[in-house]
Amino acid sequence: MSTELSAQAIVDNLAAVHQQIEQSAKRAGRDPAEITLVAVSKTKPMAAIEAAYAAGQRDFGENRLEELWEKVEAAQRLGLKEIRWHMIGTIQSRKTNLVMGPFALIHSVDRLKIAQRLSRDATAAECVLSVLLEVNVSGEESKHGFTAESVRACAAELFALPALQIKGLMTMAPFVAEAEETRPVFRALRQLRDELHEQQPSARLPHLSMGMTNDFP
């Protein structure tokens, strides 16, 4: 029996998620339009992406560069011209050249070496990459990312890299039973973003990527 969702189920789920986002934003005094829902499409077939696209979803996240590029090409063939692709997986240093492309945002710049290589490759390709710095706020050994201290220490170097536009920060909280337990991690990331903005006043850091796989099961 197939475990893939039907097109109607995808439509219904998207509507429910957007309703939750709107309610949460209003409780926090935020404009729901400021929040971007990235649908994680890794391992999902193009039929599911088509269904979500037909329902109005435009931002999709992939964690493997090879699969991402296959879907970029498939989406072009299918006429899904308004998709904004997000790279959410770890980028290996030997594969930074594969990130040169029409990506809305790269969420996983997890160390200075990767930032430097992306800058080098983007400069050579005469393109500009929009990226987020991945920060391991929780300190878990299983997580990738800068520490808060290392981001502060090399902020000037990071923001000076050519062909990179640092748009904000990303983190992954621990997988815990109670959602409230993740709030200190997310709060710490926002505070770090504010610190970096003070340290680098010319930098615009509008994005915080803090979505989790089990947010909307």
Q: Give DSSP secondary structure letters for 82-143.
A: T-EEEE-SPPPGGGGGGG-SSEEEEEEE-SHHHHHHHHHHHHHHT--EEEEEEB--S--TT-
Count of positions (residues) in the chain: 217
pLDDT of 111 above 50: yes
Q: Which among 126, 124, 143 is positioned nearest to 135, based on CA atoms? A: 143
Percent of the chain predicted with pLDDT > 70 = 94
Instruction: Report the alpha-carbon distance of residue 34 to residue 54 in Å, rounded.
Output: 22
Q: What is the mean pLDDT of the chain?
A: 90
pTM: 0.90
CB-based burial of residue 42 (10 Å sphere; 0-12 exposed, 13-18 middle, 19+ buried)?
middle
Average confidence (pLDDT) over 166-175:
89
The two structure tokens encoding residue 72:
């970029």
| 122-138 mean pLDDT | 95
Residue with token string 């696209």: 53
Reference 90, options 73, 104, 107, 78; nearest CA is 107
Give the Cα separation of 33 and 88 in Å (integer). 22
- 43 backbone φψ class: left, alpha, beta (φ>0; ψ -120 to 50): left
Q: Which band of pLDDT confidence, cut at 50, 70 and 90, is reported for residue 177?
A: low
Q: Which two tokens stand for residue 6?
A: 């039907």
**Percent of the chain whose predicted confidence (pLDDT) is above 90:** 74
Sorting pLDDT into bands at 50, 70 and 90, what band is 188? very high
User: What domains appear along the chain, each with residue ranges and CATH number?
Assistant: 1-89 (3.20.20.10), 93-217 (3.20.20.10)
Higher pLDDT, 121 or 211: 121
- Above 90 in pLDDT, residue 16? yes
Instruction: pLDDT band for 216, please (50, 70, 90 cuts).
Output: low
pLDDT at res. 1: 36
Contact 60, 90 (CB under 8 A): no
pLDDT at 213 over 80: no
User: What pLDDT does 4 receive?
Assistant: 66
The tokens describing 11, both together, are: 């439509």
The more confidently predicted of residues 136 and 179 is 136
H or E segment and range at residue 59: strand 59-62
Contacts of 194 (CB under 8 A, 6+ apart): none
Least reliable range by pLDDT among 114-123, 161-170, 197-206: 197-206
Give the H/E segment covering residue 4.
none
pLDDT digits (tens, 9 = 90+) for 40-68: 999 999 999 999 999 999 999 999 999 99
> What does DSSP say about strands 129-134 and 59-62: parallel, antiparallel, or unpaired?
unpaired
